[in-house]
Amino acid sequence: MLVKVFGSAVFGVDATTIIIEVNIDKGIGYHLVGLPDNAIKESSYRIAAALKNNGYQLPGKKITINMAPADLRKEGSAYDLPIAIGILAASGQIKPDSIDQYMIMGELSLDGSLQPIRGALSIAIKAKEEGFKGFFLSKQNVKEAAVVSGIDIYGVENVMEVLDFFEGKSTILPETINIEDEFYKPLDYPEFDFAEVRGQESIKRSMEIAAAGGHNIILIGPPGSGKTMLAKRLPGILPPMTMKEALETTKIHSVAGKIKEAGLISLRPFRSPHHSSSAVSLVGGGSYPQPGEISLAHNGVLFLDELPEFKREVLEVMRQPLEDREVTISRAKFTITYPSSFMLVASMNPSPGGYFNDPDAPVTTSAAEIQRYLSKISGPLLDRIDIHVEVAPVPFEKLADSTNAESSTSIRKRVTAARKIQSERFRDSESIHYNAQMTTRQIREYCVLDDSSLSLLKTAMERLNLSARAYDRILKVARTIADLAASEQLTSVHISEAIQYRSLDREGWLG
């Protein structure tokens, strides 16, 4: 008897439906075809034990299982449950009547309990698109999948719950969640509030500008000046995510298996990989490609602490994602694209010793050592960072001041207002949402300079020997400064402040 059960494979952040055909015939044997990996090939042992421990058994006949399309490689242990259901239906141990109306996925333990899977949200979206009535999966994944409306999502703990459902012995209520409650949670970063930061008013101003326009930013200063502390507080002033952004972010984290009991991710992610990270861990990839840190930071912040300590080849692979806001991983047989629209926040010491340009500390590092240290960061990479800021140590008087500074909530209101101006400006564009994403054509359209501003920028370009890309970065930052001031026109005040945020272009930093 032939039975078809439906599962799914996830490639990139999208799912593809897999038809699991199970045929029981005369003879003895267990044949699994359709490019399964080792985890799927080993499923027969898990399935046999799980069924036996729940009162069922593998038929002593010839079992042939085909996973179609046969030329698409399948991986992972999430096919245990659909294969088990298919074998029982094909051997007449359960009714096969309505099985083909449901998507079924789950890894089986030897006692029949279900383990969580990756990519549950992507699979649920695909199941709804293809008109399936419902989706069975582990109870641990049910909240993320239940974000998708229009399809019944069944969270189960044991294979027996699924078998009893198809046998009509019991009913399972589909999981329902209130999307409004999940999405409109209050933005709360109690541990990281700018109200706790003493001094550093100019640095907080630069981070407000970066948040308002989605600009990449690098903080340069000696150890203990507060670079990491400031970076960790940046997500608290970013505007709330839209529903579209929340779904995109949740899909990526679901594919990577980073979602536990949570449903929709409503807070912007903050990722901080160690400087020993490899290029693959940063951009994604591997034998079975998974999203890397830059994709897990999608719609959020990627913080690279001690930037020169990262291997140069690791940093260079970020150049394309920073420009295109997506990363493409190519292999001989497939190509996968992961979204990676993130804010890069980097920090670094100005020299190996950490105290170059600090008037209160002796210089113990030679010019050659400093140049070698700074040369780990290429010019093209720095050109893609809009804002360069020097962070000085906080004086004792400021540290001892008990007065609270402006809170993250207050700063976020101004940032959100500036983002609304940008959303209205780019309302006709599908791919541009804030100033940092502007193309050259849009820069020319929305960053028109008067004579005094043009003269000021020309002088800065000549004295600092800035590149054409740096010229565009200055205009983008100036546009954001104007938006924070609710100014339609760019003025020399906005341009002069934007020029100040190119510290690493000035003579004495990079040669």
Domain total in the chain = 2
pLDDT at 329 over 90: no
What is the share, in percent, of the chain residues with pLDDT greater than 90? Answer: 58
Structure tokens at 410: 């207050």
Q: Which residues form the domain of 426?
A: 194-431
Considering the domain architecture, whether residues 168 and 199 belong to the same structural domain is answered as no
Mean pLDDT, residues 218-235:
89
Residues 96, 209, single domain; the answer is no
Q: Which of 143, 177, 211 is the last residue of a domain?
A: 177
By DSSP bridging, strand 29-33 and strand 62-68 are: parallel
pLDDT top residue among 379 and 298: 298
pLDDT at 383 over 90: no
pLDDT of residue 365: 63
- Of residues 36 and 286, the one with the higher pLDDT is 36
- Among 272, 238, 226, residue whose Cα is nearest residue 436: 238
Q: Are 271 and 301 in contact (CB under 8 A)?
A: yes
* Residue 396 pLDDT level (bands cut at 50, 70, 90): low
User: Quick check: is 39 in a domain?
Assistant: yes
- For the segment 374-393, the average pLDDT, to the nearest whole number, is 83
- Tell me: do 287 and 367 sit in the same domain: yes
User: Is the link from the previous residue into 273 a cis peptide, with omega within 30 of 0?
Assistant: no
In this structure, are 146 and 198 located in the same domain?
Answer: no
Residue 460 vs residue 107, higher pLDDT = 107
| Sign of the C-alpha dihedral computed for residues 109, 51, 81 and 24 taken in this order | positive
* Banded model confidence at residue 479, pLDDT cuts 50, 70, 90: very high
Of 407, 431, 455, which residue is a domain's last?
Answer: 431
For residue 186 the two structure tokens come to: 């209050």
Longest dimension (CA), the chain: 89
For 444-471, b where at least 16 C-beta lie within 10 A, e where not — what string? Answer: eebbebeeebeebbeebbeeeebeeebe
pTM reported for the whole predicted model: 0.87
Whether residue 450 is contained in a domain is answered as: no
Q: What does the alpha-carbon distance between residue 19 and residue 8 come to, in Å, rounded to a whole number?
A: 8
CB atoms within 10 A of CB 182: 18
Q: Report how far residue 383's alpha carbon sits from residue 370's, in angstroms, rounded to the nearest whole number.
A: 20
**Structure tokens given for 332:** 């001989």
Secondary structure (DSSP) of 425-489: HTTT-SS--SGGG--HHHHHHH----HHHHHHHHHHHHHHT--HHHHHHHHHHHHHHHHHTT-SS
Residues 162-185, mean pLDDT to the nearest whole number: 83
pLDDT average, residue stretch 302-329: 89
267 or 164, higher pLDDT: 164
What pLDDT score does 361 carry? Answer: 57
Name the pLDDT band for 225 (thresholds 50, 70, 90).
Answer: confident
Report the alpha-carbon distance of residue 248 to residue 268 in Å, rounded.
11
**For 466-477, what is the mean pLDDT?**
86
CA distance 332 to 327: 17
Residues 135 and 236 in one domain: no
On whether both 121 and 170 belong to a single domain, the answer is yes
| Residue 464 is assigned to a structural domain of this protein | no
From 381, 398, 431, the end of a domain falls on 431
Residue 446 is assigned to a structural domain of this protein? no
Phi-psi region of 112 (alpha: psi -120 to 50; beta: other; left: phi over 0): left
CATH number at residue 101: 3.30.230.10
C-beta of residue 298 within 8 angstroms of C-beta of residue 341: yes
The stretch 53-76 carries a mean pLDDT of 93
The whole-number average pLDDT for the span 369-383 is: 76
Look at residue 340 in the predicted model and tell me its pLDDT: 92
Higher-scoring residue by pLDDT: 468, 87:
87
Q: Which residues have CB under 8 Å from 190's CB, separation 6+?
A: none
235's CB contacts (< 8 A; 6+ apart) are 189, 192, 267, 268, 269, 270, 300, 301
pLDDT confidence bin for 505, thresholds 50/70/90 = low
Mean pLDDT of the chain: 88
Structural domain contains residue 448: no
Looking at the domain assignment, is residue 318 inside a domain?
yes
Residue 186 has pLDDT above 60, yes or no: no
On whether both 171 and 35 belong to a single domain, the answer is: yes
The answer on 220 and 165 residing in a single domain is no
Answer whether residue 455 is part of any domain: no
Task: Point out the least confidently predicted range of 215-229, 336-350, 366-380, 452-466.
Answer: 366-380
- Residue 426 CA to residue 419 CA, distance in Å, equals 10
Which token pair is 267?
Answer: 């807070």
Question: Does residue 509 have a pLDDT over 50?
Answer: no
Domain assignment present for 474: no
Residues 249 and 160 both lie in one domain: no
227 and 329 in a common domain: yes
User: Do 159 and 210 reside in the same domain of the chain?
Assistant: no
204 and 165: one domain?
Answer: no
Question: Where residue 365 sits, what CATH number does that domain have?
Answer: 3.40.50.300
Distances (CA, A) of 329 to 103, 216, 286, 336, 337: 28, 23, 9, 5, 6
